[in-house]
Amino acid sequence: MQTMEAYISVKNATVEFPIYENSHRSLKQRAINLTTGGRIGNAAGKLPIVRALDNLSFDFRHGERVGLVGHNGSGKTTLLRMLSGVYTPIRGDLRIQGKIVSLLDVSMGLDPDATGFENIYLRGIMDGMRPARIRGKIDEIANFTELGEYLNLPVRTYSSGMMVRLAFAISTNVEADILVMDEWLSVGDADFRAKAATRLDALVDKASILVIASHDLALVDRICTRKIHMEHGRILSDEPVVHDTDTETAIET
């Protein structure tokens, strides 16, 4: 049976957030403009709304590595959350084919009262994995964390660094057709960061499509094939990233 290629297709998608409290409205409008970059408007019932994404259209296909750039509040993270299923467009069409894995907040979903081992099972179940599949991965995840006997203790007893190690090990031990990231993950001390970088590189290489939001333009130019510049929930530009292979080859020789 032939496997169908992953894709993302977005046509005229708009995401809006209503504001239910109207007290100090002008102050709230200013604050929301600063924090979201969205456009303030009114719904039909005079309810103030923030338009976080405004009529976006694009297609991402197999092999593409897409970098989203723009200032804080330009709509990058909202777009990633829409692609991950957190937000639904109020207008337009969103179609995704392939398994999508989101690394927006790797610590999200950890139960502080459950042990490290129990959290591995819980996250696996949340990701739709069967218990037998989780059991086959648990030793690999445990070894990667380097937490040893701490995995038998409740996560609430962990330091922040230990918690991030556990969350990273669980979140990146997946098979993704589409990988969605908000900034490149860098966790732990120097030795663990090197190991984490190797795993993340392998995860990205295996994914059919990568969508990453980042303020690091050098990173986007290095790992992406396409760059989308966003501003106030709109796409200002969408252009290929040109890798000067001839120059790189000349330098190497």
- Note the pLDDT of residue 110: 87
Rounded average pLDDT over 3-32: 76
Rounded average pLDDT over 212-238: 95
- Note the pLDDT of residue 249: 43
> What tens digit of pLDDT does each residue of 181-200 get?
998 887 777 788 889 889 99
- Note the pLDDT of residue 250: 40
> What tens digit of pLDDT does each residue of 154-185 get?
999 999 889 889 988 988 888 889 999 998 88
Contact 237, 77 (CB under 8 A): no
To the nearest whole number, what is the mean pLDDT of the chain?
85
The larger pLDDT score, comparing residue 64 to residue 187, is at 64
Cα(146)–Cα(187) distance, rounded to whole angstroms? 13
> What tens digit of pLDDT does each residue of 235-252 get?
999 999 987 654 444 444
Cβ count near 16 (within 10 Å): 19
Residue in the structure block whose two tokens are 């203790």: 153
Looking at the DSSP bridge assignments, the partners of residue 77 are none
How far is residue 232 CA from its own chain's centroid? 19
What residue ranges of the chain are covered by domains with CATH 3.40.50.300?
Answer: 7-98+212-252
Fold of the 7-98+212-252 domain: Rossmann fold (3.40.50)
